[in-house]
C-alpha cells in the first residue's frame, strides 16, 4: 500500500503546477504586455491610472500619442480588426463623439478623433488581440472583471 502511495504522490505534485498556471488571472499589466507583443514595433500601448496611451514612433522617436478614455469606448462593437488598415480599431461610442485625444508632437497640436488604430503584425484576424483590447477596456470600467483563460 505504501509503495502505491509513494508512486502516485509525484504524479499528483506534477499536476498541481499545471492547475495553478490555468488559474492565472489576466490583469492590466499582463494584458498590456500581451497587446504590445502583437503590435507593430512602431506602436506601443501604456496603461495609466484613468486612461490608455498609445504612442506611435518613427525613427525611434514618438511622433503621435493617442489618449483613450475607456469609459467612452464601445468595447462591444467598437473594437475590431480592419484588414485594409492591418490594425485593430478602437472606436468611441456614437454618443460620445470624438473622445480620443490625438497629440501630433511635431506640430504641437491636439485634435479629437472618434477612433484610433493599433497597427499590428498579426495576419489572421487578430482575434486574440481584439479580445485582449476589449478585456483591457473592461478592466477600467467594470468592477470585478476577471479573466482566467488566455486570449487565444
pLDDT tens digits along 29-48: 999 999 999 999 999 999 99
Q: What is the pLDDT of residue 1?
A: 54
Cell numbers 478592466 correspond to what residue?
139
Distances (CA, A) of 82 to 35, 46, 88, 138: 16, 22, 6, 21
| Cell digits of residue 12 | 499528483
Per-residue pLDDT band for 9 (boundaries 50, 70, 90) equals very low
Average pLDDT over residues 107-127: 91
Q: Is the pLDDT of residue 19 over 60?
A: no
148 vs 100 pLDDT, higher one: 100
Beta-bridge partners for 65: 55, 103
Domain definitions of the chain by residue range? 23-141
- Mean pLDDT, the chain, whole residue set: 85
Q: What is the pLDDT of residue 26?
A: 74
pLDDT tens for each residue of 50-107: 999 999 999 999 999 999 999 999 999 999 999 999 999 999 999 988 999 999 999 9
24 vs 98 pLDDT, higher one: 98
Per-residue pLDDT band for 20 (boundaries 50, 70, 90) equals very low
pTM: 0.79
What does 57-71 look like in DSSP terms, one character per residue? EETTEEEEEEEE-GG
End-to-end Cα distance, the chain: 44
Q: What is the pLDDT of residue 7?
A: 52
Amino acid at each position: 500500500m505504501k509503495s502505491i502511495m509513494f508512486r502516485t504522490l509525484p504524479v499528483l505534485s506534477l499536476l498541481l503546477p499545471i492547475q495553478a498556471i490555468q488559474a492565472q488571472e489576466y490583469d492590466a499589466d499582463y494584458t498590456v504586455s500581451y497587446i504590445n507583443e502583437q503590435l507593430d514595433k512602431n506602436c506601443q500601448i501604456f496603461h495609466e491610472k484613468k486612461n490608455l496611451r498609445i504612442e506611435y514612433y518613427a525613427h525611434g522617436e514618438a511622433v503621435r500619442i493617442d489618449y483613450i478614455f475607456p469609459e467612452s469606448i464601445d468595447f462591444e462593437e467598437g473594437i475590431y480588426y480592419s484588414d485594409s488598415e492591418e490594425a485593430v480599431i478602437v472606436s468611441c461610442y456614437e454618443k460620445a463623439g470624438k473622445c480620443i485625444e490625438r497629440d501630433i508632437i511635431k506640430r504641437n497640436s491636439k485634435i479629437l478623433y472618434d477612433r484610433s488604430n493599433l497597427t499590428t503584425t498579426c495576419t489572421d484576424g487578430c482575434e486574440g488581440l481584439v479580445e485582449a483590447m476589449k478585456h483591457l477596456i473592461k478592466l477600467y470600467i467594470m468592477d470585478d472583471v476577471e479573466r482566467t483563460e488566455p486570449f487565444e
